[in-house]
């Protein structure tokens, strides 16, 4: 049966952007609509130098390619591949992600008219080249291993005002099911944190489909960003400033209880659930004013940092006699050399460290303090006000009210509410 002439086809299938459009908005994507009783059977999108991508069945969705750049998104996306989803009634197809700026596309849609006759419509257009752009950097390194508390941290080179649009461009694939949320800390910093600590030994793949996304005020992303990393074993430290002991949980079980000495009364170690940031052996620690009481300049072994202001778990052979009995440090958690080395050997960035019973509250952003917030507080930092469910097949935004009950408990599965408040 011959296809109907184009004059009749246009009544049954409509493509936006229309053919010959010279500066289409890439953030709007591609929409194919069936009209007057028509149906869509297949949509194919091609772009010079790219693979063909099509949707041939209701609710089909495949992930587009993305240019991989470890820790940074600094160059134009070169994939051009376009995926999309056809609705259950075969009357509307829409591209999954934004389109690359400054790229030519040809869309070919086939289907039927209201009598079941085959119809075809084609549109060839080009997306605009934006004058204002943003790029994105990710903290996580490719194929690196992090602790169970590690947030995904993104930094943008330009303030984002349409935060929801940027959140909707993000996709996570995790080897184990994960529930979490995005959280904006200002206009240029976006984090993802699970509701509870990550499941140990999880592989995480991040896909930021930023190319063509309007971050607000006509500032467009120009490059996609992908990164894969691993969550290692669960290592959780809890230090009591009054019991003068730290407990180390490995794999959810108490593995060690060590004597410690924390900050003296004038320099108390602050309460809070922090994350290990970095480690070094040795680390030079300098504090106070040279020539005045309290000044120190020490080369310290087996040092694992958990605040930006300079608090560490570290070896302190000079305070062994006080460890387990009194607090004499300048704010760090002092351990014996053997205990400090044992912890150092286990630690990777993102391991939770909780300080309890202090007279001093922790300060937000003095370290990676995402776990200062409980789940409800963290959710309020999302521009979409939605939770994220991720797994081996990708991620989806879901209503927080639809989530299953949370059975995790502190300190090994999650942080305790109000953990940063002074006792």
Largest CA distance in the chain: 96
Sign of the four-CA dihedral 271, 313, 297, 277 = negative
Closest to 370 in 3D by CA, of 137, 150, 141: 150
**DSSP for residue 98:** P
Closest to 323 in 3D by CA, of 309, 339, 310: 339
pLDDT attached to residue 58: 39
Strands (E), 29-69: 31-34, 39-46, 53-55
Q: Where are the domains of the chain?
A: 6-126, 132-225+378-402, 235-370
Catalytic one among 158, 209, 330, 332?
Answer: 332
- Alpha helix locations (H) across 276-355? 337-346
Question: ∠ CA(114), CA(116), CA(121), 5° rounding?
Answer: 80
pLDDT attached to residue 81: 77
Check if 132-225+378-402 and 235-370 are the same fold: no
pTM of the full structure: 0.88
pLDDT attached to residue 314: 97
Give the C-alpha separation, 142 to 229, whole Å.
6
- Alpha helix locations (H) across 156-237? 163-168
Q: What is the pLDDT of residues 126-138, one digit of tens each?
A: 999 999 999 999 9
pLDDT attached to residue 287: 76
pLDDT attached to residue 2: 53
pLDDT attached to residue 220: 98
132-225+378-402: CATH topology:
Immunoglobulin-like (2.60.40)
**DSSP for residue 368:** S
235-370: CATH topology:
L,D-transpeptidase catalytic domain-like (2.40.440)
Q: Is 6-126 a CATH 3.40.140.10 domain?
A: no
pLDDT attached to residue 60: 35
**Known catalytic membership, residue 94:** no
Task: Write out residues in the chain with pLDDT < 70, as ranges.
Answer: 1-10, 49-80, 288-289, 291-294
Contact 20, 46 (CB under 8 A): no
Catalytic one among 209, 244, 314, 330?
Answer: 314
Helix, strand, coil tally for the chain in percent (to 5)? 10, 40, 55
């Amino acid at each position: 049966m011959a296809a109907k002439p184009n004059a009749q086809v246009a009544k049954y299938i409509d493509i936006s952007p229309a053919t010959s459009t010279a500066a289409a908005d890439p953030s709007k994507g591609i929409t194919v609509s069936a009209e007057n009783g028509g149906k869509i059977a297949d949509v194919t999108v091609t772009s010079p130098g790219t693979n063909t991508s099509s949707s041939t069945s209701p609710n089909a969705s495949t992930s587009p390619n993305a240019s991989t750049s470890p820790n940074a998104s600094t160059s134009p996306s070169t994939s051009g591949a376009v995926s999309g989803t056809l609705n259950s009634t075969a009357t509307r197809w829409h591209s999954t992600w934004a389109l690359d700026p400054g790229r030519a596309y040809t869309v070919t849609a086939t289907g039927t008219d209201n009598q079941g006759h085959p119809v075809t419509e084609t549109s060839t257009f080009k997306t605009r080249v934006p004058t204002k752009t943003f790029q994105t950097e990710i903290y996580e390194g490719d194929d690196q291993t992090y602790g169970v508390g590690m947030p995904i941290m993104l930094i943008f080179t330009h303030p984002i005002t349409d935060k929801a649009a940027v959140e909707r461009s993000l996709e996570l694939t995790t080897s184990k099911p994960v529930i979490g949320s995005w959280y904006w800390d200002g206009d240029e910093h976006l984090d993802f944190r699970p509701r509870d600590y990550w499941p140990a030994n999880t592989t995480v793949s991040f896909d930021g489909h930023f190319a063509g996304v309007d971050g607000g005020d006509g500032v467009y992303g120009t490059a996609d960003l992908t990164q894969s990393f691993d969550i290692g074993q669960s290592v959780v430290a809890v230090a009591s400033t009054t019991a003068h002991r730290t407990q180390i949980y490995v794999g959810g079980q108490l593995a060690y209880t060590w004597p410690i000495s924390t900050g003296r009364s004038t320099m108390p170690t602050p309460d809070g659930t922090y994350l290990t940031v970095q480690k070094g052996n040795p680390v030079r620690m300098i504090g106070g004013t040279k020539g005045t009481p309290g000044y120190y300049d020490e080369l310290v072994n087996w040092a694992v940092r958990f605040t930006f202001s300079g608090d560490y778990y570290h070896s302190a052979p000079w305070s062994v006699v006080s460890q387990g009995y009194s607090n004499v440090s300048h704010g760090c958690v002092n351990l014996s050399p053997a205990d400090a080395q044992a912890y150092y050997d286990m630690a990777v960035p993102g391991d939770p460290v909780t300080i309890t019973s202090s007279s001093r509250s922790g300060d937000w952003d003095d370290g990676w303090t995402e776990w200062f917030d409980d789940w409800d507080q963290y959710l309020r930092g999302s521009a979409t006000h939605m939770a994220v469910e991720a797994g081996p097949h990708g991620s989806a935004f879901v209503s927080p009210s639809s989530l299953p009950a949370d059975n995790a408990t502190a300190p090994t599965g999650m942080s305790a509410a109000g953990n940063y408040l002074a006792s």
